[in-house]
Structure 1
């Protein structure tokens, strides 16, 4: 224990550029000199520097060395492996404006409830994701010093979005020397080859320092045909339900009077499955199909370039100037299969194939009623999507300190400009006009170049977010208690957001087949004041108080308190507890976005029931959905409890146990189509409280034609669980030194509504919601040699949920993967590293349709990595 006088000196407020930097995982040595000064550290989740490595809130650290062991080349890939990323998070995909985006979701609460900081400063959300979550692919990996994950709520310190926790990405500073590195990764299966190179350099003097980095990364595309489970299967089956990778958007006609599907004569085309193979679609329907996996990609190709520079200069003995700049360009290329969509046709305009009840073809005839053609535009070619994201982040500030008083001032500017360029899309009104005029051919011979040129359409989507903030604060000591002096920090912050989303006029009007989107925009000003205090109640008990007030220009105010306790039970055991309230402001896109079209996947159990199809055999399908924003949304509110214990069993062996409970009210959410279907089953067709489902012929027993899903404030959800850690280091043997770290998150409950205002059930164990996951790392070192073995485990889940009883149906297996790395440090200050990810070549966990949860699993398989780093 430190004497009270040392504690008084240690618990002082000092702010470096207003940043809440974080605790190191390495042991901290507190060296007391004659003036009883001690080393202090600053912990994410607090703006107060302190002497204790473990504060009153739980913080997990991922160092640059930890990242190197994984072989991952992006910060998104590193964070996706964390057990705190409970149910996974989104990764790069292919063929849409979101294909360049990746995020992190703590506690399974959603990426928009996880606040991401860069050097302790709020990063605004990506405009492509509506400003609701940060795109991790804009952050350079080479420049990262460490990542701090605060796993309890922190809205009282940072404001909105810190509901489930905070990820603080801390970049290098005060670097001296020069480092050059090159890394390559090669999956054993086709596609996904990756390489990266970076340069880091810096210099320092008595008055200041300069650090810079530059990196470039390149990742190749992965096509669906490159993996057996994403390519099509059983394509010549008699029944469509027995296939995978085949789309009914091929050459088919839907009679709007009878609701009957029929293949068109145009199915006789070599681009269709089997040159015109006809499937039994169920319920007396017959269709032809298109194998979209033959041309579509799963993971986009990616080219990333980033530069980072940070500098500090001592203006006087008491004032320091600091600045940093981050500039990145993230380009991705993705591919969808040729555009598919529907367009209207009048009676007598198309030739359809007729089938009797035994499935026999009875000949071709003209359509008798008006209908829709569900058509694949193979003549136009694939839909190719290129996204280019530019990000600029600049911070400048002054930090002053005089005796026990300090102050800081920081200006922060961030500009994100994301553009998506699409080719191979179709202008629906032109197609419909050419169908009426007879210029459009449904025959197997296809269309002329003139028709293809007339119906083709290039799309453009541009999203822009401009963010500015000014932060200022003072830190001081006041009130001398028997156990020490109380430290204070009082600050203020002003933030301005300007959001703009633009799409080409035809897409915005809903006239483009194979694309969707709408324009929107808005701006917001936020003014906040906040205060924090650490109170040494006794020599062993410390109280941390925080309070924040936010005033938003567009919806109102929010006040958030936090209370935390840290108790040194005995010399090697620390107990801690925290409670805090949080909030999440509605995103500008939530409030102001125009209606947008989406093809949502849902399972219509009611229709299956009417057709005599069992729940287990009822398949999910895509349906046309219009999503609507809501300018009347209110902020979410939350309560977060955390209770933990840290025990240093020996100098080399320690353990942590943390219990958490997160409760969120007034959840901002889209009422999903699946939710609408569950509600409809209870209340009946046409009686939904929110949203709308339209069935063919306005018949309660008919097929779904379209739906509208609104953005609303829902009731909320609750989740609780336990985080467990074991760390051992210092096992010295003749064969080398060994260490180990084990981290597990076990989710006790995730209580959520089955649908809007519906029954609440614990949903843990359902598809995409594993009960627990862990990571286990074993390290070895011997002289210039070192190696690591990383084990990751994701628990199994059920495949489906009974729509009547909510009982879990079917079983998806657990997954265990192993990664290994080996490094050799050469005498000339060079470092060789070899790695092998997914040693046993595990596929993602697949359901009965060969689908997998891309948030939890990846499709890279066994991957070989190699790198060389040279320091000067």
Structure 2
């Protein structure tokens, strides 16, 4: 590894060193060597600066004590924990176009829930704008806290998408995968991600990149520019980035089909087709492809069925467009006062092609196009149908191919400005304060949903000009179709954050092992959320429900060096203890106190053992408490017995009884450097999570664990399901889409404190540098192995092992890379491995194979040492092939889902296939 040390006072190494081409190695930093990484590819000595936890470091860092993620104390590394750091070289070398996708490559991160292509797990139903967040350990998408420059930022009331910052404006991303509520408060159950804005850029950088999939037309473009200036008393930086990713249609992937018998799977074709199927009691009649009229009623044959694919036209991932800007500034007013500021603006727009709507239509004999099937007499219509007296009714399973599909569009927009001040005090003490203000708006809309009022009126009508023809004859007037397919769905979420932080930090007294240091402070958050909804007829007004939350927090953290460089003895080269405690008071969910203690013990140089224990919590989000909406959603559920999905209805809404989630976390580990070029690390961790909030609104595979919900009202069948549905409709709950004729399956999808989970696992890292004289080779590997994942979905239910099951955390994930530097050329080979698992959504269970794509990239550097000069600038030209061997996702025997997956598992594999890309990057 090319490590060019630059001494910066007590600066601690948390970054990994890779050449500009190198993919993220995700090296865990645990050493206390006071160095910083640098490379020839970094202009004018720019390196990976380490941020202060509250505010950024001074522009001139010489002699400064810097705070590292995982600790509030200046000049110390996180005790008992490790930091995974991705520096500028990692960011530039990655093929990820945005930060959220870069972080997804870390093995500890699981793509479950809040993801653009997998929304079927916990938290997914609230992801109305198809964003991404971080889900460390697979514990939950809201259990990882995302910070920017060490402070909280405005979000949609649920989670923070790291892609709000452009990659060019980021110095480093730090990840600590340990419970950290004692230091950072709510949401830090599984860990913390800190996105550090750039403050050392001195010059201009620009890049452009374009790529395409070799199958299916998927394309990706990115471009950006950043400029910065450092001077004696400060710095300023501004970065802009534009990213465009086209949609990936399920129609372009052969595995996303309902009839999977060619893959050895089930036949998941549905009967809501075009043309459809008439049902009179238990007797079915397939409507011919040419349609049917009363004159041709003899073509209807009893016992026949049309079957068809579900979700034709649906995107596996939506079209996404990112525009993001961020800036930083630092100014030393004098030798003891500095001011700083960071800010960002981001707008991510999406468009998702949806499938054609389907429904089970109740058709009365009063319909102008009514056809009486031969040999049967339909029953009299129920009074709720509203048909003329004496009318008879049957059901037609139908797909509305004559109306627009259910496309959705929208955006996620946010901005925040956070200024602060740093004051040096006598006796090595320091005071810091900042104030942040930001706003966010998530917006999703659809304008072509099925409007039940006009549909039912058209089904009852005896006038051909105003009636709906469900018999395949195409006789419905355009005016009627326009009235049927005009239901709107508008779902904005507006958020506003005012955040204040103040802290004292310094040395209390000295011990033989070093200075005992203290960090203590106060934080306040004022957060307002407005949940909007308009669902129904085009004239439905957009209404907002407004909620507020305030949080007052006090914390203290103590660092005690028992043995250090000045008093080391055999067996105790270094021994450090860190203790932290935090008290949080919420205006709506109560108070909580969380402690944490960590220990580092280095018996000899090059060997360190570490461990920590603490408690953490997560306050339920405002949307979880009050619900995004109060609606009934007809949707199809995976049938564990096989065959077509089962139609059901799910309820969304508020739950005012939600309690905070609580967790107990501990870990032990070791870091070994047997030789200078080799670094090894391993961590065993354990998380016990109680009162977990589970929402099943988007969980379309819930029936495979139906027995675990026995004794609750979460899943209802038959008459109980119909009665609950009728009760809710009578109470004014709106049905989203076509109202079902009958309801045999009901799922309460509201957020509930149901879960208890116990998760254990091992993280490992290994890095080796091989010096070949003029050339160099760098080997890197990291991974996560889950040893246990036990869950009880109800408070009194049994703990059941759910490790390595579909849509749950998988047993093994790993990445390995080899980077060869040869003069101006760099070549990287990257292998990502996701282990196989069991698909228990189908019976008998299916064994799913592993997914191991290989990426290859080559970079040619111009303008640096051993290269050619080009107009006085440093230029890097790159070519890369992701998924070099075009490995397809492992086949998974599940039906296509509106929330992701179908023939493959969107949470464990990438459906894009091989991608080829070229890039140019310049610095001057």
SS at match of 1:50: coil
Give the corresponding residue for 1:5. none
Give the corresponding residue for 1:441. 468
On the 8 A contact 2:638/2:700 being kept in 1, the answer is yes
1:229 to 2:269 alignment? no
SS at match of 2:167: coil
On the 8 A contact 1:812/1:847 being kept in 2, the answer is yes
1:628-667 paired onto structure 2 within 5 Å: 628-667=653-692
1:78-118 CA-partner distances (Å, limit 9, x unpaired): 12221101465643249997243112210010111011111
On the 8 A contact 1:262/1:352 being kept in 2, the answer is no
On the 8 A contact 1:251/1:373 being kept in 2, the answer is no
1:309-320 paired onto structure 2 within 5 Å: 309-320=327-338
Give the corresponding residue for 2:744. 704
Tell me, in whole angstroms, the C-alpha distance in 1 between the residues paired with 2:232 and 2:158: 42
Distance 1:278 1:80, change over 3 A: farther
1:791-810 CA-partner distances (Å, limit 9, x unpaired): 1111101122688xxxx822
Tell me, in whole angstroms, the C-alpha distance in 1 between the residues paired with 2:709 and 2:584: 40
1:83 to 2:121 alignment? no
Distance 1:84 1:668, change over 3 A: same
Tell me, in whole angstroms, the C-alpha distance in 2 between the residues paired with 1:680 and 1:51: 49
1:566-589 CA-partner distances (Å, limit 9, x unpaired): 111111111110011000001111
1:270-289 paired onto structure 2 within 5 Å: 287-289=305-307
On the 8 A contact 1:461/1:502 being kept in 2, the answer is yes
Find the partner of 1:627 among 642, 645, 652. Answer: 652
On the 8 A contact 1:823/1:834 being kept in 2, the answer is yes
Give the corresponding residue for 2:409. 386
Give the corresponding residue for 1:819. 855
Distance 1:704 1:533, change over 3 A: same
Give the corresponding residue for 1:843. 888
Tell me, in whole angstroms, the C-alpha distance in 2 between the residues paired with 1:674 and 1:215: 36
1:423-460 CA-partner distances (Å, limit 9, x unpaired): 32221111112222232222412421111222232432
1:418-567 paired onto structure 2 within 5 Å: 418-438=442-462, 439-442=466-469, 443=471, 444-457=473-486, 458-506=488-536, 520-539=545-564, 540-567=574-601
Deviates more, 1:151-160 or 1:823-832: 823-832
Tell me, in whole angstroms, the C-alpha distance in 2 between the residues paired with 1:336 and 1:676: 23
Q: Any stretches of 5+ residues in structure 1 without a counterpart?
A: 1-8, 13-21, 32-36, 271-275, 355-361, 606-614
SS at match of 1:798: strand
SS at match of 2:848: coil
Give the corresponding residue for 2:429. 405
Give the corresponding residue for 1:333. 351
On the 8 A contact 1:339/1:424 being kept in 2, the answer is no
Find the partner of 1:177 among 200, 203, 219. Answer: 203
Give the corresponding residue for 1:608. none
Give the corresponding residue for 1:123. 153
Tell me, in whole angstroms, the C-alpha distance in 2 between the residues paired with 1:485 and 1:640: 28
Give the corresponding residue for 2:606. 572
Give the corresponding residue for 2:907. 855
Distance 1:860 1:741, change over 3 A: same
On the 8 A contact 2:721/2:744 being kept in 1, the answer is no
Give the corresponding residue for 2:739. none
Tell me, in whole angstroms, the C-alpha distance in 1 between the residues paired with 2:228 and 2:700: 54
TM-score of the superposition, structure 2-length normalised?
0.80
Distance 1:567 1:247, change over 3 A: farther
1:510-568 CA-partner distances (Å, limit 9, x unpaired): x99xxxx9964421111111111101123321111111101111121011110001111
Deviates more, 1:86-95 or 1:485-494: 86-95
TM-score of the superposition, structure 1-length normalised?
0.84
1:107 to 2:152 alignment? no
1:43 to 2:43 alignment? no
On the 8 A contact 2:274/2:401 being kept in 1, the answer is no
Give the corresponding residue for 1:598. 633
Find the partner of 2:232 among 188, 196, 206. Answer: 206
Tell me, in whole angstroms, the C-alpha distance in 2 between the residues paired with 1:627 and 1:698: 15
SS at match of 2:353: strand
Give the corresponding residue for 1:58. 82
Aligned-residue offset at 1:406? 0.4
1:871 to 2:911 alignment? no
On the 8 A contact 1:766/1:798 being kept in 2, the answer is yes
1:206-242 CA-partner distances (Å, limit 9, x unpaired): 121110101111111221111221256579x9xx995
Tell me, in whole angstroms, the C-alpha distance in 1 between the residues paired with 2:423 and 2:635: 54
Q: How many residues matched?
A: 800
Find the partner of 1:740 among 759, 779, 785. Answer: 779
Give the corresponding residue for 2:16. none
On the 8 A contact 1:69/1:788 being kept in 2, the answer is no
1:798 to 2:838 alignment? yes
Deviates more, 1:754-763 or 1:57-66: 754-763
On the 8 A contact 1:678/1:754 being kept in 2, the answer is no
Tell me, in whole angstroms, the C-alpha distance in 2 between the residues paired with 1:94 and 1:857: 10
Tell me, in whole angstroms, the C-alpha distance in 2 between the residues paired with 1:648 and 1:819: 29
Tell me, in whole angstroms, the C-alpha distance in 2 between the residues paired with 1:203 and 1:464: 35
1:674-715 CA-partner distances (Å, limit 9, x unpaired): 89857875897xxx3333514159799x98243334422124
Give the corresponding residue for 2:877. 832
Distance 1:93 1:645, change over 3 A: closer
Distance 1:651 1:525, change over 3 A: same
Tell me, in whole angstroms, the C-alpha distance in 2 between the residues paired with 1:505 and 1:866: 44
Aligned-residue offset at 1:739? 0.8
1:440-497 CA-partner distances (Å, limit 9, x unpaired): 2224124211112222324322111111111111112113333222111111011011
SS at match of 1:197: strand
Tell me, in whole angstroms, the C-alpha distance in 2 between the residues paired with 1:581 and 1:508: 49
Tell me, in whole angstroms, the C-alpha distance in 1 between the residues paired with 2:283 and 2:603: 72
Distance 1:452 1:683, change over 3 A: closer
Tell me, in whole angstroms, the C-alpha distance in 1 between the residues paired with 2:475 and 2:378: 19
Aligned-residue offset at 1:170? 1.3
SS at match of 1:591: helix
1:38-93 CA-partner distances (Å, limit 9, x unpaired): 775432111122255x7421111122322333311011221222110146564324
SS at match of 1:835: strand
Distance 1:241 1:188, change over 3 A: closer
Distance 1:190 1:252, change over 3 A: closer
Aligned-residue offset at 1:262? 3.6
